[in-house]
Amino acid sequence: MKRTLILVLVLTFALSCGAFAKSLGLMNELINGSWEFGDDTAWLREGGDVLNGAPGYPGDAPGETDGFVYGSVSNWSIADGTITQDVYVAPGEYTVDLSGWLKAFDTGGFSSWIELQLLVDDQVVGSQMVEASGEDIPWTYVEINWAGFVAGKKSARVVVHIDGRQDTIGFGNAWGWAWADGIDLEETSGIVPEPASLLVLLGGLAAIRRRK
């Protein structure tokens, strides 16, 4: 009887620790979320660049120290890009938090912007944008909260659009650029146990049944 009770307590503790850690949002599910590797490892990049911006502009976002950012820059022309990372999960109900830092700059008068998007099963369910037109928008913290059913995939995507054209006739350079840093995707209350946890629980229950 004592062994059975101890086994039940151990199993309960193991499962509750995992659920508690997830409920606190202690882990960024993205790999290389701040582009700290200095490249696009774990991301699918289509346009734009990962670069070291620490020595000058744009510099690190607040709280970031690795020096690398993702974005794009253009002089007298238009440039677009996206970078996406997928996270695969077991089907179930999830509460998801996606956050990060965005920055935009434009001198020509046309709009340059950068957008953070949360996708669930390839559908955009939330987004936040920073946009500049003839101005400099400093590092801005954005956050997306979403709750619902996930069939199998959550994705973080950054979309950048740069318009460096000049809107008036005159002299001088026209520039546009925008950057992202510190992208963090957290599962704050996924209720579906991980497969590994389910195996531990089933194994424990089978052991209890055999002892009976």
Encode burial over 167-199: b for 16+ CB neighbours within 10 A, e otherwise: eeeeeeebbbbbbbbbbbbbbeebeebeeebee
Encode burial over 7-24: b for 16+ CB neighbours within 10 A, e otherwise: eeeebeeebeeebeebee
Residues 16 and 95 in one domain: no
Residues 119 and 163 in one domain: yes
DSSP label at residue 170: S
Under a CB-based contact definition with an 8 Å cutoff, are residues 164 and 78 in contact? yes
pLDDT tens per residue across span 40-78: 999 999 999 998 875 567 788 999 988 899 998 887 778
Beta-bridge mates of residue 95: 147
What is the residue range of 179's domain?
27-187
Residue 71, class by beta-carbon neighbours within 10 Å (0-12 exposed, 13-18 middle, 19+ buried)? buried
Residues 86 and 166 in one domain: yes
Residues 50 and 38 in one domain: yes
Total domain count, the chain? 2
Residues 79 and 10 in one domain: no
Residues 31 and 20 in one domain: no
Give percent of the chain with pLDDT exceeding 90: 53
pTM of the model: 0.75
Sheet holding 44-46, edge to edge: 44-46, 78-88, 153-163, 112-120, 123-132
